[in-house]
Homo-oligomer: A and B are copies of this chain.
Amino acid sequence: MFESANLPHVMTRDEFEAAETRLRELLLDAQFEVAEQRRAAIMVLVNGSDGAGKGEVVNRLYDWLDDHLVETLSYRKPTDEERARPGSWRYWRDMPSKGRIALVIGSWHHRLLRNRALGRLDKNAYDNALEDMIRSEEMLRREGVHLLKIWLHMDDREAQKRLEKLREANGALRRPAVIEWDEIDGGKARARLTDAALEMIEKTSTGNAPWAVVPASDPHYRDAAVGDLLLQTLTGAAEGTPAAPSTQAVATPESALPRPSLVSALDLAKTADRETYSQELRDLQQRLTEATTAKSFRNRGLVLVFEGNDAAGKGGAIRRVREALDPRRFRVHGVAAPSDEELARPYLWRFWRNLPRRGDVAIFDRSWYGRVLVERVEGFAPPEDWMRAYPEINDFERQLGECGYLVVKFWLAISQDEQLRRFQDREAKPFKRYKLTPDDWRNREKWALYEQAMTEMVDRTSSRLAPWTLVEANDKKFARLKVLRTIVERLEA
């Protein structure tokens, strides 16, 4: 869930000031529009790691907005009044009226996470609470309350350091009230907290109320990103889009925010050692054969997903995997435009029908992720449809996982230059020409849009059961080895 947030996100002071000038004007316009319409209330739920700067973010938003139409709601230990009523009463009592914006620190998410981390809720009770949360948030949305759920993300160690500094600077008087997770339950509380947060972001990121994960190491970037997300939320609320996404994990094209992409963070120049390649390949294939013919595999099943840039070498990588498998036990599914039969059914149907039996292997050359890649970028699916696809896909893969299937997902990444070289190569060689279509050239023009869609896809669907593996694929041999090694290691784990 934090794949792209873990990349460095920085803004210089100049960049920030330019962004701020722009944001202030647009935010005020949008705020007054929402206030005049009185059709939607906005709740900005500022959550995240301790020390990531929740208070600072709220202060910044106060600076930018008209403060007559804003209120801060901050929840700490329940009061006597609150304890005497159901847990959600405190939030209901403070519900902002239509036209207004509430900035919330310590929302219902916070309390739930805390209770799970402290061991007051077991796994099942926590899961049930998450489901209740999904239904409540859906109800609020239908009643005109737009939620902007922000998760300020900061590396644990960095957050600790930042807290230390704050304490020194403020002295005992303004010591932030923070729980020392590492000291509770021999460190288990910290582990439960991290796991519970991941699960919450994964499961409660619905089409109508997705989490926006905001990297919080650099305060400039952090504040500008939150401002941008709020602007999108206000604009969506003013336009009355019925079920459109209010947020995105990454910035919009309109914003001035720097957009670190997952691909640009990869070292695409990685290469395989030419001398040992053949031997390594054979060894990995041997291990794959062993793992998939072992008796224990009969109760499992392997679902491999290959996505990536056009000409990134998916076919070649699949071939190296395929060679190691019993031909009776696998099938490769090339996913192109859906057939008439498939179009007449829910989009996941074409994949359900091709699920392998337990003990078998299904290789998907492109997959259900088309919904949030090509269908999103080309506009084949409206935003409300591809936004809800993230949780739907997570549900789907969770079903596979619970049934014993191992889902391994690859994104094969090449540089734009390398792609051009491969396209030209395909044009030149008659036997390769069939591999290149006008679509490939067209997709290439939308490189940045695909990269953005891919980044959000990885952020939203790299679940605990089925994480994505990004593969540096400028060197085909390197990519093949990495693909094989990943599968083998997941199988052997």
Residues of A participating in the B interface, judged by any CB pair closer than 8 Å: 38, 41, 81, 84-89, 92-93, 95-99, 124, 127-128, 131-132, 135-136, 139-140, 142-145, 341, 344-349, 352-353, 355-359, 385, 388, 391-392, 395, 399-400, 402-403, 405
Contacts and interface: CB of A to CB of B under 8 A. Distances in A.
Contacts of A345: 41, 95-98, 143
B388 A358 contact: no
Kindly report how many copies of this chain are found in the complex they form together: 2
A399 to B, nearest CB: 5
A416 to B, nearest CB: 35
A385 B352 contact: no
Given A86-B405, A92-B349, A136-B395, 7 more contacts: A84-B357, A85-B403, A86-B402, A87-B399, A88-B352, A89-B355, A143-B347
A356 B345 CA distance: 49
B139 A346 contact: yes
A98 to B, nearest CB: 4
Contacts of A349: 92, 95
6 pairs of A and B residues whose beta carbons are closest in the complex? A143-B346, A92-B352, A97-B344, A84-B357, A86-B403, A124-B124
Q: Which of A127, A357, A391 has the most chain B CB within a 10 Å cutoff? A: A357
A355 B85 contact: yes
Given A124-B124, A135-B395, A81 B357 contact: yes
B395 A132 contact: yes
A131 B131 CA distance: 7
B86 A400 contact: yes
B124 A84 contact: no
Given A88-B399, A124-B124, A346 B144 contact: yes
Contacts of A92: 348-349, 352-353
Given A93-B353, A136-B395, A395-B132, A346 B145 contact: yes
Contacts of A89: 352, 355
